Amino acid sequence: MLRLGVDYYPEHWSREIWESDVREMAHIGINTVRIGEFSWGILEPDDGVFRFEWLDEIIEIFARHRIDIILGTPTNCAPLWLYRKHPETLQVGRDGKRTEPGIRGHRCMTSRVFRRYAERIIREMLKRYANHPSILAWQTDNEPEGNHCCCESCTDSFRTFVSNRYESLSELNRKWGTDVWSGTYRTWEEIRPPLGADYEYNWLNPSYLLDYERWAAASSADFLRFQADLIRESNPETVITVNACFAANMPDYHLIYKDFDVASYDNYPEVRIPEDQGNVYSQAFALDVARGRKRKNFWVLEQLAGPKGCWSPMTPTPLPGMMKGYAWQAIARGADMILFFRWRSAARGAEMFWHGLFEGEKPEGRRYEEFKEFLRETRAWDKLFGTELKSKVAVLYSYEQNRAFRIQGQSEGFSYEDQARLMHDGLMAMGVNVDVISEKEELDSYQVIMAPGLFIADASLAGRLETFVRKGGILLLGNRSGVKDLFNARRLDPLPGVFRSICGCSVDEYDPIGKGTQRLRFADGETFSVTSWCDILKTEGATALATYEDSFYAGSPAITENLLGNGRCYYLGTVGDRSLYRYLARLMLDRAGIERFELPYGVELSVRENERTRYALIFNNTDGDQVFVLEQKKISLRPFEVRIVEGFD
Ligand code: GLA
Ligand code: ZN
């Protein structure tokens, strides 16, 4: 069944209201809650002193009302006594100083001492609840970030990580190019995490930095795996997940979820309607990223329930229909669970203005009514459970490329992520299901792939893409592909390096125009304004699809098309606005013979299916009415409304 419910913090409320809260939850149709993820200080008020009575009690209340539970391990914030006794369990920042406790997320992920205490509290939880019939799943920690702790233990861990990657220190020196600026390491001890101010970061050796970011990701994954192993030891059948966010300091969730059963996502869409409709598909992108992390349906463990705020000024309140619409949108993109964050707005603590479903003691009000309506609507569509999105189209987007581009920005305003979003946006506007996956994934099940810069690349990646194209695939490769080897050093062969023969073109020269603009023209006369980056291309078997109009390279190819085996490879030497990507999406889908629908901008169409039926979910992600024709049928949608068409073909 579709899992619907809330995040709940019983430890913040008096016991007198637990029963009536849970009774109300059951009454309105909630079947799942998440609890516990920050409660260590209450579960273990002093070293080795455990107080589980309250958790036993609330779990029994939920069990009695037949509401299932996702139980969070509480490692994101340990009790203050632990930090006092063992200050080495606190992270050290890039300034070399130990973090002050008081907020959260300040645990050192590699500290042996921290892990010993974490293991003890997790085992205490498992002893009681590992086989409890109401525990549906476990969440490990909370929104883990990449581990950028610079303490001694993390320094050791980073050193071990790099020493396992290279045969010897001299190989490491060679691959990283440490001859530059007298950076040669003579002993492993000289290798440390990057200390210093943020503005100095980009002056550091990029090869070293990329390995550091790889370590930060692997280190978070290891911390979560350590927890998952403990849980599995007590109950091999249980489901293990962790809630991901979409933020700058994200770890590599592809890596993390390898060992996990389900990918989860915390879904806080923008509540301000962008004036230029600029980011209208941005939320769909984040949800497709969430689904792509395990390439299957995912869970939303936190869903927008009101105005956001606290450490930043509050956002506007969601418009009527918006909360419900955004929850449906997540289901449309593959969510099988939606838990709203949170049941009741907090009365105390730093997050009292990150709003829950209602404000006072009693559940009521506009947002609460809308939530109940969402529960009523979803009840009729429980048959969506067991359906999934099948996609012939993918956008490649990965942690590693992202990090490499962050380490070395390419031109003013150049953004790898924006290019991935633009490619996704173009495909969304054509009404096709889009997967967003890492380039390390299997690619053969797709017919169309768009890849923003594959900056870090080797022959094996090129080989996989070549096979994809030769077998009939249609590939679009973005600018800045094939620039670096796996060690984040520049290759010397002409660009796009390892992709040159697939593209049938090479980069003669490039112009990092940054915020400047250029124009390009297609053979059919269509012109587009472009920006950020211009590769001046030379065809080597490919044909020029579009050429530049301005500057000294007017007339030179900007986009090429190469026929290879049964497929085609397009190379995009520049960055356009969304109209260019729509043009390219249309072209590529037609070449692949994939059915497309031209939807009004802001309308999203996805198809969830099982062996028997296909369900089209059509969502109006705008604050205006939309009327259009889809498969000869007139469809009108109110703002943020979703329509489900059963038996869509
Ligand atoms: C994140 C966290 C939650 C809470 C919300 C709202 O998603 O996981 O604990 O802090 O943000 O701020
Ligand atoms: Zn550390």
Residues 582 and 610 grouped into a single domain: no
DSSP, res 132: -
Band the pLDDT of 625: cuts 50, 70, 90.
very high
Q: Are 69 and 35 in contact (CB under 8 A)?
A: yes
Question: Which one of the listed residues 37, 44, 143, 466 is annotated catalytic?
Answer: 143
In the chain, how many H helices and how many E strands? 18, 25
CA of 237 to the centre of ligand 2 (A): 32
Nearest CA to ligand 1 atom 9: 142
CA dihedral 207, 208, 211, 212 (to 10 degrees): -140
Ligand 1 atom nearest the C-alpha of 243 is 8
Distance from Cα 647 to the centre of ligand 1, integer Å: 38
Angle among Cα 308, 312, 314 to the nearest 5 degrees reads 40
Q: Which residues line ligand 1 (CB under 6 A)?
A: 142-143, 243, 245, 266, 302, 341, 351, 354
Is 319 in the same domain as 356? yes
Question: 507: closest CA among 576, 414, 572?
Answer: 572
| Nearest atom, ligand 1, residue 37 CA | 9
In this structure, are 349 and 412 located in the same domain?
no
Could you confirm whether 233 is annotated as catalytic?
A: no
- For residue 194, tell me if it sits in a domain: no
pLDDT at 276: 60
User: Is residue 167 within 8 Å of 254, Cβ to Cβ?
Assistant: no
Stretch among 281-285, 435-439, 543-547, 591-595 having the lowest mean pLDDT = 281-285
Show which of 563, 592, 621 is a domain's final residue. Answer: 592
> pLDDT of 101-157, one tens digit each?
989 999 999 999 999 999 999 999 999 999 999 999 999 999 999 999 999 999 999
Average pLDDT over residues 239-262: 94
What pLDDT shows up at residue 421? Answer: 95
pLDDT recorded at residue 186: 98
Q: Among 592, 612, 638, identify where a domain stops.
A: 592
Cβ(281)–Cβ(289) under 8 Å?
no
- What is the atom index within ligand 1 of the atom nearest the CA of 143? 8
CA 83 to chain centre: 31
Specify whether 281 is located in the same domain as 367. Answer: yes
353 and 308 co-located in one domain: yes
H-only helix segments in 429-517: 459-470, 500-503
Domain of 409, CATH number, reads 3.40.50.880
- pLDDT single digits (tens) 51-88: 999 999 999 999 999 999 999 999 999 999 999 999 99
The number of the ligand nearest the C-alpha atom of 352 reads: 1
pLDDT of 278 reads 57
Position 566 confidence tier, pLDDT thresholds 50, 70, 90? very high
Has residue 163 been placed in a domain? no
Q: Indicate whether 558 and 419 sit together in one domain.
A: yes
pLDDT above 90: percentage of residues in the chain: 94
Number of domains the chain is built from: 3
CA–centroid distance, residue 268 to ligand 1 (Å)? 9
Ligand nearest to the CA of 92: 2
pLDDT in the model for residue 200? 84
Q: Is residue 294 assigned to a domain?
A: yes
Which of 300, 302, 345 has most ligand 1 atoms within 8 Å of its beta carbon, as the pocket-test mutant? 302
Kindly report, residue by residue over 275-328, the tens digit of the pLDDT.
665 577 889 999 999 999 999 999 999 999 999 999 899 999 999 999 999 999
Atom of ligand 1 nearest to the CA of 245: 7
Q: Residue 138 has which token pair?
A: 């476990």
Asked whether residue 400 falls in the same domain as residue 362, the answer is: no
Q: How far is CA 603 from the centre of its chain?
A: 22
Q: Which pLDDT score is estimated for 281? A: 82
**Statement to judge: residues 408 and 351 lie in one domain:** no
Based on the fold, state whether residues 245 and 320 are members of the same structural domain.
yes
Sign of the four-CA dihedral 445, 449, 455, 458: positive
Q: Is residue 203 part of a domain?
A: no
Residue ending a domain, choose from 384, 418, 441: 384
Q: What's the whole-number average pLDDT of the chain? A: 96
- Among 75, 265, 308, 354, the mutation site with the greatest number of ligand 1 atoms within 8 A of its Cβ is 354
Q: Which atom of ligand 1 is nearest to the CA of 351?
A: 12
Angle, helices 53-64/112-129, rounded to nearest 10 degrees: 40
- Reference 522, options 546, 544, 542; nearest CA is 546
For residue 503, is it within any domain? yes
Cβ proximity of 482 and 500 under 8 Å = yes
Ligand closest to CA 143: 1
Q: Is residue 252 part of a domain?
A: yes
Asked whether the predicted pLDDT for residue 419 surpasses 60, the reply is yes
- Domain presence at residue 84: no
C-alpha distance from residue 41 to each of 46, 69, 81, 145, 238 (Å): 8, 20, 9, 21, 25
pLDDT at 277 (0 to 100)? 53
The catalytic position among 302, 370, 439, 466 is 302
Which of 11, 37, 77, 142 is the pocket-test mutation for ligand 1 (most atoms within 8 Å of CB)? 142
Q: Which ligand is nearest to the CA of 112?
A: 2
Q: What is the mean pLDDT of residues 208-215?
A: 98
Global confidence as pTM: 0.97
The phi-psi region of residue 615 (left if phi > 0; otherwise alpha if psi is between -120 and 50; otherwise beta) is: beta
pLDDT at 139: 98
- The answer to whether residue 143 is catalytic is yes
The answer to whether 516 and 490 have CB atoms below 8 angstroms apart is: no
Find the 124 Cα to ligand 2 centroid distance in Å. Answer: 25
Q: Cα dist. 601→171, 578, 605 in Å?
A: 52, 11, 11
Residues 371 and 439 placed together within one structural domain of the fold: no
Q: Write down the pLDDT at residue 285.
A: 96
Measured in residues, the chain has a length of 649
What is the widest separation between alpha-carbon atoms in the chain? 76
Terminal alpha carbon distance of the chain: 24
Residue 162: C-alpha distances to residues 150, 331, 503 (Å): 15, 41, 34
Task: Verify that 498 and 535 share a domain, yes or no.
Answer: yes
398 plus 374 within the same structural domain: no
For residue 235, what is the domain's CATH number? 3.20.20.80
Distance CA 592, CA 392 (A): 10
Instruction: Report the separation in Å between the CA atom of 6 and the middle of ligand 2, taken as the mean of its atom positions.
Output: 33
Is 116 part of any domain? yes
Q: How far is the CA of 314 from the centre of ligand 2 (A)?
A: 33
pLDDT tens across 323-373, in order? 999 999 999 999 999 999 999 999 999 999 999 999 999 999 999 999 999
Q: Where in the sequence is the domain holding 630, given as residue range(s)?
A: 603-646
